Structure 1
Amino acid sequence: MPPAIRPLQVADLPAVAQLFDQYRQFYQQAPNIEAALRFMTERFERQESLVLVAQAPTGQLVGFCQMYPSFCSVEAAPIYTLYDLFVSPLAREVGTGRQLMQAAQARAAADGMVRMDLTTARTNLKAQSLYTSLGWGRDDVFLTFNRRVVGPERL
């Protein structure tokens, strides 16, 4: 039976923080469950992001995606930036990531967003394959730049 996709609830915060910590470790960050819980709790309490969770029939959370509302100045319209997508290794290869992505797209449409953006590591070929299979196009026109303005001790 596939997992149910639903919005994050306050009672989910400890479990989603565990998944978020694993997500960060995937991107070479040191484990820090306290910081992961603090970060996810702050986003939830301040309503700064939209988090969808995948809940297995057992009740266990097995994945999540987090989107941040933003705007596209060029289109003069609201967008979501899908910043985080993670599925527990035990729940991979059964369509959980696909379900989360489809639910995120449906929610973006319902919320009146004109577009969704995301970035992923160049080496994350499985994720790129999923995105392409769902109709996402790779941006070959614009380059992304970033610059650190505070030290890594923040999280």
Structure 2
Amino acid sequence: MNYQIKRASLDDLNETAELFNLYRIFYRQESDLEKGKTFLKERFLKDESIVFLALADGKAVGFVQLYKLFHYTKLEMQWLLSDLFVHQDYRGKGLSVALIDQSKEWCAETGACGLMLETEKTNDIGNTLYPRCGFEYDGLHNYYHWWSKK
């Protein structure tokens, strides 16, 4: 299969938002294309995240979204691989690996020390994919959330 990976821009907002909506549905969120589009538009306009799109058959079929972080022990910038999604019709064709590889290249281009990610324990595909792509499981840390009551 022929595919291309490109950095997304505001010009790609509609295609990116459609994939982002499917990604959120995958994680059991209600469909809300317009709210997702607004969210992504803000990230693009404020330069708060980097999105790479996988293109195949003339359309966007997958994406990865990265956010800048700073690592406290390495004292260097790193990237949070926050979102990774490939449309179900294009899974199993190496696009997730290609998007991860592009993220690793972005680390090199930006002088980052690496990538960090988290996924649900129930995400069998991701929990198989990430170690295969060179990620190491960190069983030493607990992961907590605190949510503001807006």
Alignment of 1:3-152 (within 5 A): 3-56=3-56, 58-151=57-150
What is the Cα deviation at residue 117 of structure 1?
A: 0.3
Amino acid paired to 2:112: M
CA contact (8 A) 1:2 1:96 kept: no
CA distance in 2, matches of 1:12, 1:40: 10
Large movers: runs of 4+ above 3 Å: none
Amino acid paired to 1:150: K
Please give the per-residue CA displacement for 1:88-118, whole angstroms capped at 9, x wherever unaligned.
0011011111110111111111110002100
What is the Cα deviation at residue 150 of structure 1?
A: 3.4
User: Normalising by the residue count of structure 2, what TM-score does the alignment of the two structures yield?
Assistant: 0.96
Q: Secondary structure at the match of 2:137?
A: coil
What is the Cα deviation at residue 10 of structure 1?
A: 2.0
CA distance in 1, matches of 2:149, 2:46: 22
CA distance in 2, matches of 1:2, 1:118: 27
CA contact (8 A) 1:78 1:114 kept: yes
CA distance in 2, matches of 1:15, 1:115: 28
Q: Secondary structure at the match of 2:66?
A: strand
CA distance in 2, matches of 1:133, 1:117: 15
For structure 1, the residue ranges without an aligned partner over 5 or more in a row are none
User: Normalising by the residue count of structure 1, what TM-score does the alignment of the two structures yield?
Assistant: 0.93
Q: Share of identical aligned residues, percent?
A: 31
Q: Secondary structure at the match of 2:63?
A: strand
Q: Secondary structure at the match of 1:138?
A: coil
CA distance in 2, matches of 1:115, 1:12: 26
CA distance in 1, matches of 2:149, 2:109: 35
Q: Secondary structure at the match of 2:138?
A: coil
